[in-house]
Structure 1
């Protein structure tokens, strides 16, 4: 029997990673529902905010823009930054270990859904100096 509380997960159902630039609520991860090959969740970026240039060694990432508008940077094979304006419906593929960044350039919040494969690179975010754990709304 499948535990539906682990299969159908809303961002407010789980603790979130809070930062000065926004938050990440992991809705799919080994520690949330036993996912083994990937993890993912919802990122909320307030207007004018974003996450700085970083990479996930050994992992690929998919970023899907749910709402809002911004600028997405993904480095190319030579390490040169490629920047594009992104909005709702845009899917961004970040190849393994490639540096990337996202900035909300709109006047409304920006919401993304991100997927990491394999699972785990998002856990290093806990080591950032501005990290704080935001309790689930339904705790």
Structure 2
């Protein structure tokens, strides 16, 4: 399966284009397409504070996984690389869990996500 652009990129223009799409995909999935439900329900601490019977605390791992799966499939669609899809799922889960635990700030969370995208392109070019 091929992604939206040649991957791994071979020219500077391709590197810029792939990074642009990966960054745009992240922004799209993390902001308008995440929605309030996943944003709230992926965080076990927020669910505990809400005490909403329609949103039991036990749903947080499912919501976190759904959010990370959306990001992972976006990386797969852009790069055409299933291995990066799996890597993105795992790393996104860890990074967002850290943010939900207040181990990282919002800015650190976002920086880590974008650094992952840069690393994907660099590693792919080196292999």
Report the TM-score when normalising by structure 1: 0.27
Question: Which protein is richer in strand relative to its size?
Answer: 1
Quick check: which one's helix share is greater?
2
Q: Which protein is bigger by CA-based radius of gyration?
A: 2
Q: TM-score, normalised by structure 2?
A: 0.28
